[in-house]
Amino acid sequence: MRLVTAIETIGKLRDENRRAGRKVGLVPTMGALHDGHGSLVRKARAECEVVIASIFVNPLQFGPKEDFEQYPRDLEGDRAKLESWGCDVLFTTSPSAMYPNGFQTFVTPEGPLSAEFDGAVRPGHFKGVATVVLKLLNLTGCDIAYFGRKDAQQCALIRRMALDLNVPSKISVCPTAREQDGLAMSSRNVYLTPAQRAAAPNIYKALLAARARVQGGERDALQIREALARDLAAIEGGSPDYADVVDPDSFERIQQKIPGRFGAPAPALAIAVVRFGSTRLLDNLRLDEDGS
Ligand code: AMP
């Protein structure tokens, strides 16, 4: 696997791949890699001729009181994992290379997709995400960029950005990889104490219970939301940030009944964020279909 650390070099690589007509897949990450990232790299490997993973802990998407400094970093461990998943190129660079002196152009999402939920709890977060993702798409010229459904609002927002700004890369959204007990894999899981780690799978259990309600015929989004909020509030040591039922593409809250035709529910996504101490764990589950 080739390691690229300079902006100029990744740009040259993009031009070479373009000239040779190679299909390029990009997996953007912040490192501290786990099997969730692995599932994205493996999908890219199956679909593309060149697989690039990026590792960049993006200061722009962290708030002043968030964990930018403490965010887990393990470049050597990550390199070995990427090799074993079949990645061709690791691109990693410094904040000062990404945002050199004079940098002043940002992608600022302004609609409902960025205003609520993580957009409301983390002001500026999605501006940071959209800006760095667009830069990475431009730098690599990838045909397909792979993202995890665990961060469903981010996926919806990036899809929207690609549509709005005529970005030629395809945005591929991949299923959430989970630990055996159902906890969504996350680089931040390492922050959890043993007691918090033991309680954390209850987030997924609460989401499964919400889906079971829908599968049992419940369509009243308010009832589902309230039951989900109750289940999350009962998690030992956890404190819910939000729980809701939204349209998976627009992230607009489903206010009354989950719409549907011929008895089948329309697309609906249950979203949940629970804090354990200062660690925020996100998860979500489609209520209208089976799977992760
Ligand atoms: P991160 O390094 O946390 O910024 O994540 C990089 C990419 O991996 C994002 O597209 C995430 O949505 C995705 N990702 C993180 N955790 C998981 C998971 N458990 N399953 C699938 N994808 C994931």
> CATH number, domain at 6?
3.40.50.620
The number of residues in the chain equals: 292
- Of 121, 151, 174, the position where a domain reaches its end is 174
| 72 & 149 share domain | yes
CATH of the domain at 214: 3.30.1300.10
| 42 & 170 share domain | yes
Sheet-wide strand order for 269-276: 239-246, 269-276, 279-286
| 48 & 70 share domain | yes
Mean pLDDT of 98-113: 96
The verdict on residue 291 lying in a domain is: no
Work out which ligand 1 atom sits closest to the CA atom of 151: 12
pLDDT at 191 > cutoff 80:
yes
pLDDT at 291 > cutoff 70:
no
| 162 & 198 share domain | no
Q: Fill in the DSSP letter of residue 253.
A: B
User: 256 with 222: CB under 8 angstroms?
Assistant: yes
The verdict on residue 179 lying in a domain is: no
User: 184 with 204: CB under 8 angstroms?
Assistant: yes
Helix-helix angle 202-215:221-233, to 10 degrees: 160
| 43 & 166 share domain | yes
| 83 & 168 share domain | yes
pLDDT, tens digit, for every residue of 23-60?
999 999 999 999 999 999 999 999 999 999 999 999 99
The verdict on residue 180 lying in a domain is: no
| Number of separate domains in the chain | 2
Which pLDDT score, from 0 to 100, does residue 259 have? 83
| 123-251-137-19 Cα dihedral, nearest 10 degrees | -170
pLDDT, tens digit, for every residue of 230-243?
999 999 999 999 99
Mean pLDDT of 65-77: 96
- C-alpha to C-alpha distance for 196 and 277, rounded to whole angstroms: 9
Atom 12 in ligand 1: residue holding the nearest Cα: 148
Mutation pick for ligand 1 pocket among 26, 132, 151 (CB with most ligand atoms within 8 Å)? 151
For the question of residue 125 being annotated catalytic, the response is no
Atom 7 in ligand 1: residue holding the nearest Cα: 29
Mean pLDDT of 163-185: 98
pLDDT at 276 > cutoff 70:
yes
Q: How far is the CA of 37 from the centre of ligand 1 (A)?
A: 6
284 Cβ closer than 6 Å to some ligand 1 atom = no
CA 81, 85, 89, 94 dihedral sign is negative
- C-alpha to C-alpha distance for 168 and 138, rounded to whole angstroms: 10
| 157 & 198 share domain | no
| 133 & 253 share domain | no
pLDDT band at residue 258 using 50, 70 and 90 as cut-offs: confident
Instruction: Give the mean pLDDT of the chain.
Output: 96
The verdict on residue 50 lying in a domain is: yes
- Of 130, 152, 174, the position where a domain reaches its end is 174
Tell me whether residue 99 is exposed, middle or buried, using C-beta atoms within 10 angstroms of its C-beta: 0 to 12, 13 to 18, 19 or more: middle
Catalytic residue among 14, 37, 79, 213: 37
The verdict on residue 110 lying in a domain is: yes
pLDDT, tens digit, for every residue of 130-172?
999 999 999 999 999 999 999 999 999 999 999 999 999 999 9
Which pLDDT score, from 0 to 100, does residue 292 have? 58
| 111 & 228 share domain | no
- C-alpha to C-alpha distance for 231 and 218, rounded to whole angstroms: 17
Q: Helix (H, G, I), strand (E, B), or coil: what is residue 269?
A: strand
Q: In 10 A of CB 70, how many CB atoms?
A: 10
Which pLDDT score, from 0 to 100, does residue 289 have? 86
The verdict on residue 182 lying in a domain is: no
Residue with tokens 């004079």: 102
pLDDT at 263 > cutoff 90:
no
pLDDT at 262 > cutoff 90:
no
pLDDT band at residue 290 using 50, 70 and 90 as cut-offs: confident
Which pLDDT score, from 0 to 100, does residue 260 have? 82
| 165 & 221 share domain | no
| 48 & 99 share domain | yes
- Of 148, 174, 200, the position where a domain reaches its end is 174
125 Cβ closer than 6 Å to some ligand 1 atom = no
Mean pLDDT of 239-256: 95
Which pLDDT score, from 0 to 100, does residue 38 have? 98
User: 144 with 169: CB under 8 angstroms?
Assistant: yes
Mean pLDDT of 189-197: 98
Domain that residue 278 falls in: 187-286
